Amino acid sequence: MSIWVGAAMLVAVFATSTISGIFGMAGGLILLALLLVILPVGTAIAVQGAIQIIANGSRAWLSRDYIDWRILGIICMGLVVAGVLLYLLRYTPDLATVCIAIGLMPILVWIPKDWLALDASKPHHAFVCGLVGGGLNLAVGVSGPTIDIFFIRTQMDRRKVIATKAAAQVISHAAKVVFYWGAAMVLSANEWAAVALAAPFAIAGTSAGHWILQRLTDANFRRWTRWIVTAIGIFYLARGISLVI
């Protein structure tokens, strides 16, 4: 990794952490897209996971008073089941599948509430959230839009949504790093040092996003989340299709 690529990654980490700090997702989608340009799929997913642990961890810490620990515990149970199933299947990701799967995710945020009335505050819904969202995070590297449909339609305010999702993502990204540990080991010590250097940039970006979030209304939070995730999804879908044809 050249010094210019490393510098660009640090800027990207700050910018994407700021976006995630505001909307609770989208930043990880953008960061993974950039990493997939310079790294093999499994390695990119592991590196993105390591960086997102820091970004989500700092966001969860800043909003720790709003975390719903009951919901978090049930989501984690679903994640464990998903991880075991993927391990038994000996799942290995490929670039086209990852891009197409991520590109299709934004469809979920446009489904009318009456069609798919999911609510993470309900125990069985929270378990499915962990199973499906956690499974997708392990399989393709991100799952923000999938997890979002379980939270965006609850009666929780934006701060509780952001905090609980961030805590769940910390655990999910940690599981991802473990799942792709072998792929991550292809990186040199210097490259991992660059990833470690990204930590303060992730925390700074998260802090900036948290500051903006406090000044954003619930209505604008939900509206902008949909449009930003959709735009990112279109990019991923176009790239995935281009790899197939």
Q: Is the per-residue pLDDT at 1 higher than 70?
A: no
Our count of domains for the chain comes to 1
Interval 190-200: pLDDT, tens:
778 878 888 88
The values of phi and psi at residue 139, to 5°, are -80, -40
CA distance 144 to 56: 12
Cβ-contact 95, 243 below 8 angstroms = yes
**How many DSSP H helices and E strands does the chain contain?**
12, 0
Identify the band that residue 2 occupies on the pLDDT scale cut at 50, 70 and 90.
low
Residue type, 170: V
Residues in Cβ contact with 190 at an 8 Å cutoff, skipping those fewer than 6 apart? 1
Report the distance separating Cα 3 and Cα 90, nearest Å.
Answer: 36
Q: Give CA–CA dist 213/60, Å, rounded.
A: 13
Residue-wise pLDDT for 19-67, tens only, equals 877 876 677 888 888 889 888 999 999 998 988 888 788 878 888 899 9
CA-to-CA separations, 3 to 24, 34, 153, in angstroms, rounded: 30, 16, 44
Q: By residue range, what is the domain housing residue 112?
A: 3-244
Residue 218 makes CB contacts below 8 A (sequence gap 6+) with 157, 158
pLDDT of 74 above 80:
yes
Residue 82: pLDDT band (50, 70, 90) is very high
What is the CB neighbour count within 10 angstroms for residue 222? 17
pLDDT band at 72 (very low <50, low <70, confident <90, very high): very high
Nearest in space to 232 (alpha carbons), one of 132, 170, 148: 148
pLDDT tens column, 97-133 = 999 999 998 887 777 767 777 888 899 999 999 999 9
Q: Residue 183: how many CA atoms within 13 Å on its side-chain side?
A: 21
